Chains A and B, each alone.
Chain A
Amino acid sequence: MNLKNFFGKIFRIFGVGKIVKLGFYGPPNAGKTSLANRICKDFTGEEIGKVSKIPHETRNVQFKEKVEISYKKKKMIFKMVDTPGISTRIDYEDFLKYKIKKKEAKERAKEATQGVIESIKWLDDMDVVVVVLDATKNPYDQVNITIIGNLAARKIPVLIIANKIDLKKSNIKKIESAFPEYKVVGISARYGKNFDKFYEEVFKISKKA
């Protein structure tokens, strides 16, 4: 082991100096940007992106560099990477339900397809990934399985977030049984519920990166 590797290892053990690339992945409208916004707002005072009820609001990969997160006297520096939702189908007509004009809906659909391609391209660059799932929806969707399968194949540490636990229909147990090999943390990104547990698990998996 050369000197650079040796000190690199020592620094990593103590979590010093390393910037961990933390990716937020998942299907559209699961709350990836809401979660990233809350973290960024808490630790930098600024949000990472706009949120909306309309699917595919995030159509470009968004970043926030050097976000220093403190949790129980520990500190780690992250590069936050918020990605567009991954889906297998995009139909501009789906956006018309949200009273968007046809021309705008078509443009949104076009940008959304590019967003999915970008998200997939970025998979390789992540150190750690938080997969954000909507706890009110069926977790057995193939997109979720594909994302998690890809991260496992790339040996990227994964934390699964069951978001929207403030809603009555939410079911964390269903997500836990769909992905028994992974740690699942239930949160409400909207109301900041259970974030202590979230940070604890993020710190744990980031040490594996």
Chain B
Amino acid sequence: MVKKKVKKIKGFTMQFLPYSEIRDLNSDERIKKILEIILGNKILILQGKLKSEEETRLIGDTMAMIRHIKNFKGIELAVISGNESEGFFENFKKNLVNIISGGDLGAITIIGPATIVKEIKRNPKKIELLLNR
């Protein structure tokens, strides 16, 4: 892997990524696209969410990058979904919509570089993004 260097930052940028931009990508390409945004010191707001195996893949690739990229310390990640404890028919309807649209569009994924995002505090009703000074 080519050794890159992450520049130290003074501010931060948020980038919104609509699901349509990753819908047709395979898992490798999705992770690559996400990590490119993160390495650009941006906080990514992704419409929808990754598959669970893509999330672990993202964590694994992040770990590999910590070893190879100077000043890169990893990521902070949080997924906010709708009400997960809905009834059978509501879940069935939601799953059907997800299949048609190709992803869970009712969810939002927030991913930020650990150099900028200190912590993402989450509970069922709110989400707090704590930034590094």
Chain B positions 21-61 with a Cβ under 8 Å from a chain A Cβ: 51-53, 55-56, 59-60
A153 to B85 Cα, complex, angstroms:
18
Do residues B74 and A89 form an inter-chain contact, with CB atoms below 8 A?
yes
Interface string of A97-121 (1 = CB under 8 A from B): 0000000000001100110110011
Interface string of A123-138 (1 = CB under 8 A from B): 1000000000000001
Residues of A within 8 A of B55 (CB): 142, 146, 149-150
Give A148's nearest chain B residue, CB to CB: B52
How many A-B residue pairs lie within 8 Å, measured between CB atoms? 75
Do residues A88 and B114 form an inter-chain contact, with CB atoms below 8 A?
yes
A116 to B123 Cα, complex, angstroms:
25
In-complex Cβ contact of B52 among A91, A109, A153 (8 A) = A153
Provided the pairs A88-B62, A142-B78 are in contact, do residues A150 and B123 lie with their beta carbons within 8 angstroms? Answer: no
List the interface of chain B (C-beta within 8 A of A). 51-53, 55-56, 59-60, 62-64, 66-67, 73-79, 85, 114, 120-124
Give A111's nearest chain B residue, CB to CB: B67
A177 to B79 Cα, complex, angstroms:
17
Residues of A within 8 A of B114 (CB): 88-89, 91
**Smallest beta-carbon distance B122→chain A, Å:** 4
Residues of A within 8 A of B51 (CB): 153
Give A93's nearest chain B residue, CB to CB: B73
Residues of A within 8 A of B76 (CB): 88-89
For the complex, count residues of A whose C-beta is within 8 A of B. 30
Do residues B66 and A109 form an inter-chain contact, with CB atoms below 8 A?
yes
In-complex Cβ contact of B77 among A88, A110, A121, A178 (8 A) = A88
A110 to B76 Cα, complex, angstroms:
18
**Smallest beta-carbon distance B127→chain A, Å:** 9
A72 to B77 Cα, complex, angstroms:
43
**Smallest beta-carbon distance A97→chain B, Å:** 15
Instruction: Say whether chain B's binding surface is mostly helix, strand, loop, or mixed.
Output: mixed
A180 to B55 Cα, complex, angstroms:
21
Do residues A117 and B60 form an inter-chain contact, with CB atoms below 8 A?
yes
Residues of B within 8 A of A153 (CB): 51-53
Residues of A within 8 A of B120 (CB): 142
Give A153's nearest chain B residue, CB to CB: B52
A87 to B63 Cα, complex, angstroms:
9
7 contacts between A and B (CB under 8 A): A87-B74, A90-B63, A90-B73, A120-B59, A142-B122, A146-B52, A146-B56
A160 within 8 A of B: no
Give B57's nearest chain A residue, CB to CB: A120
Do residues A123 and B56 form an inter-chain contact, with CB atoms below 8 A?
yes
A152 within 8 A of B: yes
Q: Which of B53, B64, B76, B79 has the most CB of A within 10 A?
A: B53
A145 within 8 A of B: yes
Do residues A150 and B63 form an inter-chain contact, with CB atoms below 8 A?
no
Interface string of A144-184 (1 = CB under 8 A from B): 01110110110000000000000000000000011010000
A147 to B79 Cα, complex, angstroms:
13
A89 to B65 Cα, complex, angstroms:
11
A150 to B50 Cα, complex, angstroms:
12
A117 to B62 Cα, complex, angstroms:
9
